[in-house]
Amino acid sequence: MLTTTPTEGGQTGAWTCISATGAHPDEATIRAAVAHAEQHDLLLLDLVPGDLPSDELLTLLGRLDPHRIHRDPLARGRGAGHALIVHEDVLRRAAVPADDPVDPDAPELIELIARLKPFAAHGTGHAVAPALSATRPDPALRKRRLRANGVPVWPTLIGNLGEAAAYAGAGVTSPFWGAVVFLAMWAQPFAVVAGHSPVRPRDLGRAGALRPFLAVPRWLRAVAGPRPTAAPERPAPDPAALRPAYERSVADGLDAFFEERRDTCPWCGSDRLAVHRRVRDHLQGKPGRFTLERCRDCTHVFQNPRLSLAGLDYYYRDFYDGLGGAGAEALFGTMSRTYRARAELLRRHTPEDSGPRAWLDVGTGHGHMCVVGRTVLPDTVFDGLDMGDGVAEAERRGWIRTGYRGQFPELADDLAGGYDAVGMHHYLEHTRDPLAELDAAAKVLVPGGRLLIELPDPQCRYGRLLRGLWLPLFQPQHQHLMPWRNLEGALHARGFTVLAREHGRAHQGNDFTGAVSQALTALGPDPAMPWVPGGPTPLRRARRIALVTLSVPCFVAAVLLDAVGAVLARVAGEHGMSNAYRLLARKDPG
């Protein structure tokens, strides 16, 4: 896929320059880029041609925030698609060969930047290379270029058509304002590079002057261009190929996915139980019906009967990896503010300004919390523990120092006394025995160590309003929902003192958008998914498209309601208006 030009001699020996077909950075440009990268502690540097065409410049600026790239390690990698320099350690950890002989085109190079960015999470940047000449733009590649930069392809192209119609309509209904808007669109490329801009598009005069007249042919060439496909290094799983395995999993029914129902509360032992909710899998649309029961004495909510190990394997499959891997990664990549707030809470309640020495993130996934936590606690070493393959990927990316794979209670003896901070963020509710998990945390922490826990709040008012569509029920994955008083009591019993409790700051949002999304899955699950019986017939596809279309205004209303909910959570989170809470506790000496 790549054409590589290793740099030679001196300090540049550890770097590789990769350029797209037709882009030829000279040796002076490469050396200057390496010097810039080393001066600013960068491992990956995208080179923007000084004469980048105006349309490509506008697309790049619309998706790239250079300041966020440095501030947020989860920001997606973007690029101009002409050339980049990358440290050989990044290529090694990302398993990208540095001597592959095939020339990349611009979309492939942009995809490569996105692929490499997680391995240079704290060291990615962009720089204008005045001596690097841009390649000739190819409108036929526009669909692939949009996708590579994370822009939704067909909504954008359809939106372009709607935008043109809006200009025309405004010109007819209100000629003056239509002309103002039209002139603003016309002048946009000139406004972007006004002043002392380091980029001066070589087509600014001709393309800028003819922009309105070139828009239609460019749009037609883009629509007729080749269909964007997944990068060959990360091919999307084929749902059809997975269908036989899913059919075999349920051929004998679902009984093997459940254990026997229990008659007592797993938290306090009371036999005074009541049905809380009966729901189906509205997350993926897999078959099954799940019962949540509530203890009348301690109000603990738990799945009863709970999933067996076979059930956990079936319902987690293709959620955080496989078919759902890209979506999960994208979602976790939007939560930097939440990750930072967790680390800041712990920093405020540690005796040293630098924070804890070593932090074990239990249920780390791909380590998103850890890589962001390092921006708040730069002197803290983060390790991760999880059941899935993500923990090995987190270690390979450098987001954690050491990754442990397995059940926390089973690994606790080997890790005993090794950490002065343990984090469990939206993890405890997934476990089969949360009290055993707390015992493991107490064993792993040194005296005086901090335990940070974040959980859904079953006492949230939205749960009563949205009932089975309330997203934090998260069936069938969430096996326990613990009121904060219960958790505090369990921590006290294990020798912890609670230092802080947050409600509004822990609010996850998405109560109403999550309800709409789950309702959409309940009414019409995606027929292409391999667990949906019958497969994707034309009628089912049409029904799904119709439901998605009809849900658009519902999603718009839900987004507005969630925005209001976020405000209410900040002012009344402790009174049931937050869907989550966060506890920080200290392990007492003795």
Instruction: Work out the pLDDT band at 205, boundaries 50, 70, 90.
Output: confident
Lowest-confidence region among 120-124, 217-221, 319-323, 542-546: 217-221
Where exactly are the structural domains of the chain? 4-148, 153-224, 327-587
3-state secondary structure of 98: coil
User: Would you say 172 and 179 are in contact if contact means Cβ atoms under 8 Å apart?
Assistant: no
Mean pLDDT computed over 372-382 = 96
CA distance readout (Å), 461 to 15, 228, 244, 263, 299: 55, 44, 42, 27, 15
d(CA 528, CA 276): 32
- Looking at domain 327-587, what is its CATH homologous superfamily? Vaccinia Virus protein VP39 (3.40.50.150)
Judged against a pLDDT cut of 80, whether residue 566 lies above it is answered with yes
More confident residue, 250 or 173: 250
Judged against a pLDDT cut of 60, whether residue 316 lies above it is answered with yes
More confident residue, 168 or 339: 339
Judged against a pLDDT cut of 60, whether residue 11 lies above it is answered with no
Judged against a pLDDT cut of 90, whether residue 559 lies above it is answered with yes
Instruction: Work out the pLDDT band at 157, boundaries 50, 70, 90.
Output: low
Mean pLDDT computed over 411-421 = 97
Tokens at 275, concatenated? 């049905």
pLDDT tens digit sequence for 161-171: 777 777 677 77
* pLDDT > 70 in the chain, percent: 91
For 48, the enclosing helix (H) or strand (E) is strand 44-49
User: Would you say 172 and 104 are in contact if contact means Cβ atoms under 8 Å apart?
Assistant: no
pLDDT tens digit sequence for 30-57: 999 999 999 999 999 999 999 998 888 8
Tokens at 204, concatenated? 């600014």
d(CA 545, CA 531): 19
pLDDT at 3: 44
Q: Quick one: DSSP state of residue 102? A: S
Report the length, in residues, of the chain: 590
Q: Quick one: DSSP state of residue 123? A: S
Average pLDDT, the chain: 89
pLDDT at 177: 79
pLDDT at 1: 42
3-state secondary structure of 3: coil
Provide the β-strand partners of residue 273: 295
Alpha-helical runs (H) found in 283-407: 309-316, 325-332, 336-348, 368-376, 390-397
pLDDT at 133: 92
Judged against a pLDDT cut of 60, whether residue 469 lies above it is answered with yes
d(CA 1, CA 4): 10
User: Which strands sit side by side in the sheet containing 480-481, from one edge to the other?
Assistant: 273-280, 289-295, 301-303, 480-481
3-state secondary structure of 15: strand
Only one residue has tokens 């090794």, namely: 418
Lowest-confidence region among 64-68, 341-345, 473-477, 506-510: 64-68
